[in-house]
Amino acid sequence: MVIKTPENLPAPRVFEKKPRVALALGGGAFHGIAHVGVLKVLEEAGVPIDFIVGASAGSLVGCMYADNPHADSLLGLIKTTKASNIFDFSLFRSSIGFVSGKKLQQFIHKNCKAENIEDTKIPFAAMVTDLTNGRSLTLSSGPMAPSVNASCAIPLVFEPVKMYGLILVDGGVLNNVPADIARASGAEVVIAVDVMAFYDSTRSIDNLTGVGLRSLAVVSDHFKAPKLAMADLVISPNLLNIPYMSGKENLEAYEEGIKATRAALPEILAILKKKGIPCK
């Protein structure tokens, strides 16, 4: 199976066999910590995960799990990672973004053994938005750190990432929960995780960043519905009262991911049984 990409991007990763279960992990800054709780429950239940595609924060968590498929290996990061570990914020850095992405790329290098996307243990892909041509792109090969940086590059916050002759930003702008890409992989079962089901958690709209983030959330929410419809099941952790630009509530977001997935687990197992997909 091959995920098609435009000719100016690196050759897409070729899968050895069609995935049975694919995960689509949605974006949402530090709300993405909830994905670790989701992965923890699925792992404990023995749900096979054959492909992960992520947008924004979903690509960050997704790449680390695809590189080392053990949810417990991410627990230490949940407890210690703060916004300052990810955002090298400066009002004077650039006219197109307050965060360069260098700290984020260093974080990825430190926590991923795979230098390239195609080298992960579980096949993985990151969604990006191509500002040059106004389209959504899927990166399933190429250098890991800048690709995931591009997937996470929230407009008006991060500087865009220049790669392949393109200007790339947050994949969530056009495809924040890429269940359609998971489905296009040929997967028998697609599980989507929407960590921005309640986008009103962006309450502050009294400054430039707040306006930008709310605008992005509204646009992403508008485009999200047809993507979610392509999933067999959608897990939506209740993160309404957790600010998504703060790392102070990581454990709370993680627990909400666990809670939502445990509630959905009977339905997930029933779907797998119906498809004849055994748990480990």
Catalytic positions, please?
Answer: 56, 170
* Residue 60 main-chain phi, psi, to 5 deg: -65, -50
Structure tokens at 189: 């079962």
Distance CA 97, CA 129 (A): 16
Q: How many CB atoms lie within 10 A of CB 93?
A: 13
Contact 173, 129 (CB under 8 A): yes
DSSP, res 203: -
In the chain the first and final C-alpha atoms are separated, in Å, by: 23
- The residues, any chain, with a CB within 8 Å of residue 245's CB and separated by 6 or more, are 29, 30, 83, 213
Q: Measure the CA–CA gap between 124 and 192, rounded to whole angstroms.
A: 14
Q: Which of 106, 138, 134, 110 is nearest to 124 (CA)?
A: 138
At a CB cut-off of 8 Å and minimum separation 6, what does 98 contact? 89, 90, 91, 157, 158, 209
- Indicate left, alpha or beta for 186 from its phi (over 0: left) and psi (-120 to 50: alpha): left
By C-alpha distance, which of 146, 143, 153, 141 is closest to 55? 153
